[in-house]
């Protein structure tokens, strides 16, 4: 692993951890993680699963969803297709139009943690 990737690794983990803590995540909660195939998303999947949550990983394509079940996802969705029940928490590291639809079920439950990272 090159130095730039090694240095960035803890940043993604801390961003995921802070998002989950802000949401008050715990056992039995349903959490939707958008951008689950990215660095922050993969950490969020693992940490939420370790906390005992039901983890729904949202990705952009089937190829991006590979390996997410092994890291702790209970469900892997392409976009939000198939999201048919309310979620307790949305961890959003992507933003944009698809998130608005995913955010609404979480708002019904009163919880939403969103992390939009912009390094420009």
From CA 28, how far away is CA 12, in angstroms rounded? Answer: 24
From CA 54, how far away is CA 86, in angstroms rounded? Answer: 12
Indicate yes or no: pTM above 0.85.
Answer: no
Instruction: Please choose, from the candidates 61, 32, 70, 67, the residue with its C-alpha nearest in 3D space to the C-alpha of residue 48.
Output: 32
Sign of the four-CA dihedral 54, 56, 49, 27: negative
From CA 33, how far away is CA 9, in angstroms rounded? Answer: 18
Answer whether residue 113 shows pLDDT above 80: no
Answer whether residue 52 shows pLDDT above 90: yes
What's the rounded mean pLDDT across residues 2-16?
Answer: 84
Strand runs labelled E in the chain = 30-34, 54-59, 75-78, 89-92, 113-114
Q: Which residues contact 71 (CB under 8 A, 6 or more apart)?
A: 42, 45, 46, 49
For residue range 20-48, what is the model confidence (pLDDT) as tens digits?
988 888 899 999 999 999 989 999 999 99
């Amino acid at each position: 692993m090159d130095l730039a990737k090694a240095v960035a690794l803890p940043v993604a983990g801390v961003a995921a951890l802070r998002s989950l803590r802000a949401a008050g995540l715990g056992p039995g909660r349903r959490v939707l993680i958008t951008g689950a195939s990215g660095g922050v998303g993969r950490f969020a999947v693992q940490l939420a699963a370790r906390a005992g949550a039901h983890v729904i990983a949202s990705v952009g394509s089937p190829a991006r969803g590979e390996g997410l079940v092994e890291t702790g996802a209970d469900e892997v969705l392409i976009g939000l297709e198939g999201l048919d029940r309310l979620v307790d928490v949305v961890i959003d590291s992507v933003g944009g139009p698809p998130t608005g639809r995913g955010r609404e079920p979480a708002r019904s439950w009163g919880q939403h943690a969103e992390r939009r990272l912009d390094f420009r």
